[in-house]
Amino acid sequence: MATDLTPENTQNPTPRRRVKSIRSRVLSVLFLTGAIGIVVSFTLATQLTRISQRTDLEQTSQAIATAVLQLVQNHASQQAIDNATDEAKGFYVAVYTNGKRTYATSDLGKITGQVTSTKTSPDGKYSVLVVAPHANPTPVSAELTAISAVVIIGVLIGAFWATAIIAREIGNSVEATTKVVTRIEAGDLSARIESALPPEFERLASAFDRMAKTLEEGDQEQRRFLSDLAHEIATPISAVSGLAIAIADQIIDDEEEIEEASSLISSETKRIRLLLDDLRSLNHLEFLDTVSKEHFSSSELARSLYGRFIISAREKLIQIEIDVDEAQLYQDRRLIEMVLNNFMTNAIRYSNEKSTVKITGRRQSDDMYRVTVIDQGIGIKDEELTKIFERLYRVDEARDRERGGSGLGLAIARRASLNIGGHIEVESTYQQGSGFSLIFPLLVQHLDQ
C-alpha cells in the first residue's frame, strides 16, 4: 500500500511516543512491589492481632461469667461479687435472678464490644451476662517498624543492583550491535554480531546475521552480474569497433572480407540489442506490481506456441507435438507466454536435428496447472541445474554464444513465473534432453464439466 505523502500529512507528523528506559521501569516495578508488600504485611499483622485479642476476650469473658455464676449460686455477698468483677475492669457484668436483673457493673455505657458470654445455672434461676470491651489492635511495634524499614532498603538496593546489571548488559549489547550496523552502513557487509549479545538476545543476533548474510550475498551477486554484463557488452563492442576501424582505414579492402566483416558487425550488433532488450524485460518484471488477467484455454495457449515456433523448428527438422488437457484458464497470458517462449526457444536451440519437442499440459491440483516443454537436446549436468537461473549463466558458454543466447532468458522466466504466483521445475538428463515445467495457479474449470 502506498504511503500518503500529501502536504497535510507531512506538515503535522504524528509525534513519536517516548519509551521509558528499562531501568526506570524495573525500578518502578520493584519499588511498587515493595510498597504493596509492606502495606499488605501491616494489614495482615493488624488483622492477626485483632483476631488474637478477640479470642483472649472470649476466653476471659467466659471465665468471668463462670466465676460470678458460681458465687451467685453459693449466695455470696455483693462485696464478693464486686471483688470478682473488679479484677476484670472494662468488662460489663450483669446478674439475673428469675429473669430480673439483680446486679450490674456501672461500666455498661462505656462498653462498645461485640463479644458476649452468658452462663446459666442448671435450674435456670440464675443467669450471668458478660460483655467484653472492643478489641483494639496494639500499635505496631518498633521492632516491626525497623524490620519493615530494612525490607524497604533491601528492596531498593536490590532494585538498583538489578537494574544496573540489566542496563550494563543491554547497553553493551546495543553498543556492540550499533558497531556492526555502522560497519554494514559503511559498506562492510561481512560484519556479523555472532556472540556479541547475551543468550537472551541470541534469536535477534541470529536473525540480524542472516539478514546481513543475505545482503552480502545479494551484493556479491549484483557485483558479479555487473561484471559479467560489462564483459558481455564489451566483447561484441570490441569486435564491432575493431572491424569498423579496419574497414574505415581500408585495412580490409577485399570485397569478400568487407562483406564478411559487415555480416559480423550486424550479428554482434544484434547480440547487443537482444541483450539490452532482455535487460529491459528483466528490469520491468522485477518492478511489476500487478498482473493483467484474462480468460483463455490451454489448447489456445498450445496452438499459439506451436504457430510461433513451427518455422524455426522445421529449419532443424524438429517435430513439435502437443498433448494438452483442455482447461479454461484465468491468468496473465502475456507472462505465461514469456516463460513458455523461453522454454521453446531453448528446446529448439539445444535440440539435435530430426528430434522432437513436446508440449504437455496437465492439471496439477484443483487450483494449479502445469505446462511442460520436453526436448531431446544436450541436457544439463546435475551440478549445473541449480545455476541455470542465475543472470548471464550459460550451460555451454561457447555453443550458447554461437547460438545467440544472452544468458538472461531463464532469469526472466523465473521472475515472470513468480509474478503470476507460480514456479518453475526442471528435470534433465545430460546428453538426453530436458523438461522445463511452469506450474501456475488458477485452473478455473475443465471445459467438459
Enumerate residues 6+ apart whose C-beta is below 8 A from 7.
Answer: none
Q: What is the pLDDT of residue 9?
A: 46
The per-residue DSSP string of 131-160 comes to EPPP--PPPPPHHHHHHHHHHHHHHHHHHH
Q: What is the pLDDT of residue 140?
A: 53
Q: Which of 421, 290, 304, 437 is nearest to 361 (CA)?
A: 437
Q: What is the pLDDT of residue 6?
A: 41
Q: Given 3-state DSSP classes, what are the helix, strand and coil percentages for the chain, each rounded to the nearest 5? A: 55, 15, 30
Tell me which residues of the chain have a pLDDT lower than 50.
Answer: 1-19, 398-399, 401-402, 444-449
Q: What is the pLDDT of residue 297?
A: 92
Q: What is the pLDDT of residue 114?
A: 63
Q: What is the pLDDT of residue 422?
A: 92
Q: Let me know if the fold of 189-287 is the same as that of 294-445.
A: no
Q: Which of 385, 384, 394 is nearest to 349 (CA)?
A: 394
Q: What is the pLDDT of residue 17?
A: 47
Distances (CA, A) of 214 to 47, 189, 217, 228, 393: 65, 9, 5, 21, 20
DSSP state letter for 109: G
> What are the φ and ψ backbone dihedral angles of 148, each rounded to 5 degrees?
-65, -40
Q: What is the pLDDT of residue 446?
A: 38
Listed in sequence order, the DSSP H helices in 74-141 are: 78-86
189-287 is classed CATH 1.10.287.130: yes
Q: What is the pLDDT of residue 104?
A: 81
How many other β-carbons are positioned within 10 Å of the β-carbon of residue 37? 14
Write b or e for each residue in 105-141: b if 16 or more Cβ atoms lie within 10 A of its Cβ, otherwise e: beeeeebebebebebeeeeeebbbbbbbbebeeeeee
Written as nine digits, the cell of 326 is 483442455
CA 66 to CA 349: how far, in whole Å?
121
3-state secondary structure of 14: coil
Q: What is the pLDDT of residue 4?
A: 45
How many other β-carbons are positioned within 10 Å of the β-carbon of residue 365? 10
**Which residue shows C-alpha cell 560489462?**
230
Architecture of domain 294-445: 2-Layer Sandwich (3.30)
> Where do the domains of the chain lie?
20-187, 189-287, 294-445
How deeply is 193 buried, as exposed, middle or buried, from its count of CB atoms within 10 A (0-12, 13-18, 19+)? buried
Its pTM stands at 0.49
Q: What is the pLDDT of residue 47?
A: 74
Q: What is the pLDDT of residue 316?
A: 92
Taken in order 51, 52, 53, 58, the sign of the CA dihedral is positive
CA 376 to CA 355: how far, in whole Å?
6
Say if strands 423-429 and 433-441 run parallel, antiparallel, or are unpaired.
antiparallel
- Stated length of the chain: 449
Q: Which of 326, 335, 322, 324 is nearest to 294 (CA)?
A: 335
Enumerate residues 6+ apart whose C-beta is below 8 A from 37.
Answer: 151, 155
Q: What is the pLDDT of residue 18?
A: 46
The kind and range of the H/E element at 357 are strand 356-365
Q: What is the pLDDT of residue 370?
A: 94
